[in-house]
């Protein structure tokens, strides 16, 4: 067993040494404009990059305001309400399942960055009988 591990280790080292190329060889690839010498790097998931020299832009803790016009126990009821609402109001409508309340929620898109904008839309909807229960949901993403 120990001999097998040592043998595998030597094979790994041999493969590693033969697979590596010098930086001079790689630099030569970029000196020409020929399409034949273009090297395309393999895609690597962002999560696998552990180098501290990379600065990744992440936006977090953004407060958004969502105008929600309904919440339903079944997806069918939410879809029916959304379809009827699309005929009555001129907003994009989205249906999502909310794990926090275990309901299918019907929301207007896009979400708003300013509370005043969301309130203006909600207040406009309140003038219509079918949307007297519209409310604003504040989320941080």
Domains of the chain are 63-140 (3.30.70.1070)
Q: What angle do CA 34, 40, 44 make, to 5 degrees?
A: 170
Rounded to whole angstroms, the Cα distance separating 50 from 48 reads 6
Beta bridge partners of 139: 64
- pLDDT digit string (tens) for 79-133? 999 999 999 999 999 999 999 999 999 999 999 999 999 999 999 999 999 999 9
- Distance, C-alpha 10 to centroid of its chain: 43
> Does residue 34 or residue 64 have the better pLDDT?
64
Residue 30: per-residue pLDDT: 46
Peptide bond into 110 cis (omega under 30): yes
Q: What angle do CA 135, 137, 106 make, to 5 degrees?
A: 70
Its pTM stands at 0.58
- Binned at pLDDT 50, 70 and 90, residue 39 comes out as very low
- pLDDT digit string (tens) for 54-78? 455 556 789 999 999 999 999 999 9
Residue 58: per-residue pLDDT: 59
Whether 71 and 133 have beta carbons less than 8 Å apart is answered as no
- Look at 5-9, 30-34, 118-122, 132-136 and tell me which has the smallest mean pLDDT: 30-34
In 3D, which of 138, 137, 123, 1 has the Cα closest to residue 71?
Answer: 137
């Amino acid at each position: 067993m120990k001999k097998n591990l040592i043998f595998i280790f030597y094979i790994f080292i041999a493969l590693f040494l033969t697979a590596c190329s010098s930086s001079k060889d790689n630099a030569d690839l970029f000196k020409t404009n020929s399409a034949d010498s273009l090297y395309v790097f393999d895609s690597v998931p962002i999560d696998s990059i552990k180098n501290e020299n990379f600065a990744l832009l992440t936006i977090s803790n953004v407060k958004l305001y969502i105008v929600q016009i309904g919440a339903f126990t079944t997806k069918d009821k939410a879809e029916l309400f959304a379809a009827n609402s699309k005929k009555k109001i001129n907003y994009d409508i989205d249906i999502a399942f909310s794990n926090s309340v275990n309901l299918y929620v019907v929301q207007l898109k896009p979400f708003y960055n300013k509370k005043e904008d969301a309130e203006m839309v909600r207040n406009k909807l309140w003038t219509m009988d079918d949307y007297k229960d519209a409310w604003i949901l504040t989320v941080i993403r």
